[in-house]
Chain A
Amino acid sequence: ETGVTQTPRHLVMGMTNKKSLKCEQHLGHNAMYWYKQSAKKPLELMFVYSLEERVENNSVPSRFSPECPNSSHLFLHLHTLQPEDSALYLCASSQDQGVFGTVGELFFGEGSRLTVL
């Protein structure tokens, strides 16, 4: 059983809908991430939360809005998406030990397959 759980696994939505993706980690980690995976492209980092504060936002469109209420839960709120936003959205967690610590590996969920019509 994976330590990172994502729901829903599949989501189909119209461009005017509002939906949310949910991620929960059971590993006691202090950092959580949203990645976007599109065909033939490297994984794109969308958001990072470390100790519940957003650390980086890589110029993601505002139609994607993250929320991290605590260290175990992460949401991605979706609003007025475009067809090109269709992709696999992966959540991950890790133990962030800061710039002077060891880099811990990412633990991924199974992803949420999003289709925007």
Chain B
Amino acid sequence: AQKVTQAQTEISVVEKEDVTLDCVYETRDTTYYLFWYKQPPSGELVFLIRRNSFDEQNEISGRYSWNFQKSTSSFNFTITASQVVDSAVYFCALSQTGNQFYFGTGTSLTVIP
């Protein structure tokens, strides 16, 4: 069975602090894809990153970085020097095929000025 767990329901940090959002997944497939999405108050989920199961290199994009560890089935997301605009709900997702995606329950991040 496929499953994505985001254990952190809500996180609050003060602006400029670093914050890590956890994502743990379950799958029996050897080929799969992991995603992170951001949902601001407007409602639209915005794609942040896609990672396939054969690429365990960590990735950095500006203040965002992702740590993919197959050994622990985790795909954690870190925001460095957080800003108020980072306040949103963040979703982790898993997919093996082209049209079936499994989402976590999301982590609501509040960055306090």
Listed in ascending order, the chain A residues whose CB lies under 8 Å from chain B are: 2, 31, 33, 40-43, 45, 48, 50, 55-56, 88, 90, 92, 94, 96-99, 101-111, 113
Contact B43 A42 (CB under 8 A): no
> Chain B residues near A106 (CB, 8 Å)?
35, 37, 45, 47, 101
A31 near B99: Cβ-Cβ < 8 Å = yes
Please give me the residue from chain B that is nearest to A49 by CB atom.
Answer: B99
A45–B100 CB distance below 8 A:
yes
Who on chain A is nearest to B3 by CB?
A42
Q: Is A104 touching B98 in the complex (CB atoms < 8 A)?
A: yes
Residues of B at the A interface (CB closer than 8 Å) are 4, 9, 33, 35, 37, 42-47, 50, 52, 91, 95-106
B96 cross-chain contacts in A, Cβ below 8 A: 103
B45→A97 contact, CB < 8 A: no
With contacts A103-B33, A105-B47, A105-B50 taken as known, whether A43 is within 8 angstroms of B100 at the C-beta atoms is: no
Expressed in whole angstroms, the Cα–Cα distance for A92 and B37 within the complex equals 13
Q: Chain B nearest CB: distance from A66 CB in Å? A: 14
B residues within 8 A CB of A31?
98-99
Query: B98 near A98 (CB under 8 angstroms)?
Result: yes
Q: Is the CB of B98 within 8 A of A97?
A: yes
Q: Are B99 and A50 in contact (CB under 8 A)?
A: yes
Given contact pairs A42-B4, A42-B103, A42-B105, A2 touches B44 in the complex (Cβ within 8 A) = yes
Q: Complex formed: what's the CA distance from A105 to B45 in Å?
A: 11
CA distance A63 to B47 in the complex (A): 31
B46 CB contacts on chain A under 8 angstroms: 108
Chain A: which residue is nearest B34 at the CB level?
Answer: A103
Residue on A with the closest CB to B50? A105
